[in-house]
């Protein structure tokens, strides 16, 4: 795989999820990110209270992401064969945790803006 270009990578992801689902997910991730940054700008800070509440969702996101990958690939914890597997698992968990935290933060901040 010496020519792993961005174009190849995008083509592969389009094949995994289908064109619309993949770009839909990219768009959704972008929208959440943009909203997150917008909320930061609006509030002029990272609202500590909202963040702490959002972080409660982090473990849920981590576990959900890992369970989802295990389910989709007919595998489980017993298949961890080396350090790279554990790193991959931690990476998937971290992605789920961060993703759900940001989503929860944005949702909370949009529904109930902090009082100035």
Partner 1 sequence: MTKSPLAASRRAFLGLAAGGAALTLGSAPARAARVKTSARIVILGAGAAGTAMANRLVASLEGAQITLIDARAEHLYQPGFTLIAAGLKPAAYSRSRTADWLPREATLIAEAAAEIDPDARQVTTDRGRKVPYDFLIVATGLTLDWDAVQGFTPDLIGTNGIGAHYAGPAAAEATYRAMDAFAEKGGVALFGRPATEMKCAGAPLKIAFLTEDHATRKGTRGRVEIHYLAPQKALFSVPIVAEKVRMLFDERGIAAHYGHTLKSIDPGARIATYTTPEGEVQMGYDYINVIPPMRAPAAVRNSPLPWADKWTDQGWVEVDQKTLRHIRYPDIFAVGDVAGVPKGKTAASVKWQVPVAQAHLIATLQGREATEVYEGYTSCPLITRVGRAMLVEFDYNNNLTPSFPGIISPLEELWISWLMKEVALKATYNAMLRGKA
8 A C-beta contact, residue 61 and residue 99: yes
Closest CB to partner 1 among residues 2, 112: 2
29 interacts with partner 1 by CB under 8 A = no
The CA-based angle 82-59-79, given to 5 degrees, is 25
Site membership for partner 1, residue 6 (CB under 8 A): yes
What tokens were used for 38? Answer: 């917008």
Contacts with partner 1, 52-71, as mask; x by CB under 8 A: -----------------x--
Binding mask 76-95 for partner 1 (x = CB under 8 A): x-xxxxx-xx--xx------
Number of residues in contact with partner 1, rule: CB under 8 A? 37
Q: What is the DSSP string of 54-106?
A: HHTTHHHHHHHHHHHHHHHTT--GGG--SHHHHHHHHHHHHHHHHHHHHHHHH
Do 53 and 83 meet the contact criterion of CB atoms below 8 Å apart? no
Of these, 21, 25, 28, 34, which contacts partner 1 (CB under 8 A)? 34
Binding site for partner 1 (CB under 8 A): 1-2, 5-8, 10-16, 34, 37-38, 40-41, 44-46, 69, 72-76, 78-82, 84-85, 88-89, 116
């Amino acid at each position: 795989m010496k020519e792993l270009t961005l174009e190849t990578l995008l083509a592969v992801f389009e094949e995994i999820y289908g064109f619309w689902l993949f770009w839909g997910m990219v768009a959704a991730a972008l929208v959440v990110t943009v909203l997150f940054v917008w909320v930061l700008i609006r509030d002029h800070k990272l609202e500590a209270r909202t963040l702490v509440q959002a972080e409660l969702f982090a473990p849920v996101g981590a576990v959900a992401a890992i369970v989802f990958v295990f389910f989709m690939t007919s595998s489980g914890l017993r298949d961890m064969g080396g350090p790279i597997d554990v790193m991959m698992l931690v990476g998937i968990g971290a992605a789920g945790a961060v993703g759900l935290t940001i989503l929860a933060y944005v949702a909370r901040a949009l529904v109930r803006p902090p009082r100035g």
